[in-house]
Amino acid sequence: MFKRRAFLKLCGTVALGVLAVRNHARSRLAADPPQGARTMGKQPDENHLITLFLCGDVMTGRGIDQVLPFPNDPRLYEPWVQSAMRYVALAEAVNGPISRPVDFPYIWGDALAEFERISPDVRIINLETAVTSRDDRAHKGIHYRMHPKNIAVLTAAGIDCAVMANNHVLDWGQSGLTETLSTLHDAGIKTAGAGADIGSATTPAILKVGDNSRVLVFSYGAESSGIPRYWAARADRPGVALVKDLSAETVRQIAKRVTLIKRTGDIAVVSLHWGGNWGYEIPPEQTFFAHRLIDEAGVDVVHGHSSHHVKAIEVYRDRPILYGCGDFISDYEGIEGNEPYRDDLGLMYFVTMDPASGKLVRLAMTPTRLKRFRINQASNSETQWLEGLLNREGRQFGTGVTRDGNNELTLHWGNA
């Protein structure tokens, strides 16, 4: 088996696009009050709630690109692997053969039924793959790309927004970034976190929900996630929205952008690619930064990613902070070295917000397992493992989860 190297930054990529028919009706809650919601005072109007779908890293390049109908040249420039087909072989050695080519909805597997069941208003992913056929590779060890003709694999899931301030979006240079943005936009997918200059990179994706509400998605990356400093967008240079640090001054800069655009009824999401790949510890500077974003910038949801495994959840002033959503889609099967973290297990986060108050009403999570490059519903034992993890790691923030008969996990916080 191929040994996993600590520096391999593997992540998530998926996108949306043209769906002939898409059900984006508002998500309805059950008749009973949500288990995580407050029970005192006036209850939010369920007809006007907004449900977001969030997940961890989505990476549809390399091995996954090879099993799709229009693969790129499989040549790689990694220290130990020279062909993307090696990652296909590793996955097949562990979990069995993958028929090739797969159809475009294949990788989403059981997630498609969950989208249909819950019908989130907005679907947001961290797209950690360049969508390009360019060969202008960056000077780094690992490069991810998916051929633009495979964009339908991303549209098959009805993704509304791809956040892009991560350490793989510029793997194939500025020309690769330009083609990535063009391909996504042509497919109807909005982007945030990368652009032709600093202005476009820091401009949020604006997603309209109903007549009066919008979801504003801002995307930023930190060097701690492996983003090279020279990838930062400038006034005269394409790149990503890279934060200098997690300081109060950086919060003030973000706050200026949020307050300039946010209006009553909007839900503001800041999606952050931060921190390393492994380990459950939440650095104090991340908690400080997330709290200040909520306190001073009017942010309602903090969506963290970069870790290859699920991390703790905090609810601060009734706003959710997802410190690390883990891997969601990748070609990492068969790579050994960090099995105790169970990076093959993921979560579909369904975050229901009240736009009138900006508060979290419910956070439900569907456990998943990646097998043969396809999302599968997690087994009972796998769900129990994730339940234990979230309860253990959430204890420091006063959060926990319970599991229902369908293996769905529901978050509890505070006095709820």
The tens digit of pLDDT for each residue in 233-260 reads 999 999 999 999 999 999 999 999 999 9
Contact 341, 349 (CB under 8 A): no
pLDDT at 37 over 80: no
Separation of alpha carbons 177 and 332, rounded Å = 24
Alpha helix locations (H) across 209-247? Answer: none
**Alpha helices of 126-220 — where are they, by DSSP H?**
152-155, 173-186, 198-201
How confident is the model over 316-330, as a mean pLDDT? 98
pLDDT at residue 75 tops 90: yes
Q: Contact at 8 Å (CB) between 115 and 27?
A: no
- CA atoms of 204 and 5, how far apart (whole Å): 34
pLDDT tens sequence across 208-235: 998 889 999 999 999 999 999 999 999 9
Please tell me the distance from the alpha carbon of residue 94 to that of residue 344, in angstroms, as a whole number: 12
Token pair for 90: 């590793």
Give the model's pLDDT for residue 45: 66
- pLDDT score at 22: 36
Structure tokens at 230: 């020279």
Q: Is pLDDT at 300 greater than 90 in this prediction?
A: yes
Question: Using alpha carbons only, how large is the chain's radius of gyration in Å?
Answer: 20
Label residue 24 by pLDDT band (50, 70, 90).
very low
* Mean of all residue pLDDT scores within the chain: 90
Residue 11 banded pLDDT, cuts 50, 70, 90? very low
pLDDT-derived band at 197 (thresholds 50, 70, 90) equals very high
Residue 320 has a CB neighbour count (10 Å cut-off) of 28
The pLDDT score that the predictor gives to residue 406 is 87
Give phi and psi for 186, each to the nearest 5.
-65, -30
pLDDT (tens digit per residue) in 166-182:
999 999 999 999 999 99
Look at the pTM and tell me if it is higher than 0.85: yes
